Amino acid sequence: MLKENRKIERACPVGLAAELVCDKWMPVLLRDIGLFELCSFNQILKNNAEGISSGTLAAKLKRLEYVGVIGFTQVNDHSQKKIYYLTESGIDLMPVLFALAAWSLKWQGRSEQYAAMVEHYHTPPSSEMRELQAKLRRFIPSTCEVN
């Protein structure tokens, strides 16, 4: 564990975040649990719009729990049934997911079915982020010459 803690201490926050939660299924499952309120394994499996397999779902739920963005509680009348929920860490991740969704709506096309739902939660960038974006735009070449 000490070696992993040293790795985290030296890690770039962007790289660490990518390592922890960036694959196709992590944001989708956080959406399903947090936004669509799909709380059990079977609810997620049957209602996942992207068609996740049961094996992948089981593995990804374990990973999300391991990194601390979801938790679960056991159902009293069924020893194997778990009800999943977002932890504080997962709740704090929701604005990031909606920022990704807003970017996707703007630049990659839109699904009208989901667009209105996402747009309610999108917030404009801070003044610091707008300054960084303006700085980055200065480096976009107007013409590109290839030798």
Contact 2, 58 (CB under 8 A): no
**Hey, which of 62-66, 126-130, 143-147 has the most confident mean pLDDT?**
62-66
In whole angstroms, what is the distance from residue 87 CA to residue 84 CA? 9
User: If pLDDT is split at 50, 70 and 90, which confidence band does 37 have?
Assistant: very high
Give the strand pairing for 78-86 and 70-75.
antiparallel
pLDDT recorded at residue 39:
93
Helix (H, G, I), strand (E, B) or coil at 68: coil
Domain ranges of the chain: 25-137
**pTM above the 0.85 mark?**
no
- Euclidean distance between the first and final Cα of the chain, in Å? 51
In whole angstroms, what is the distance from residue 104 CA to residue 94 CA? 15
User: What is residue 23's DSSP assignment?
Assistant: S
CATH number of this structure's domain 25-137: 1.10.10.10
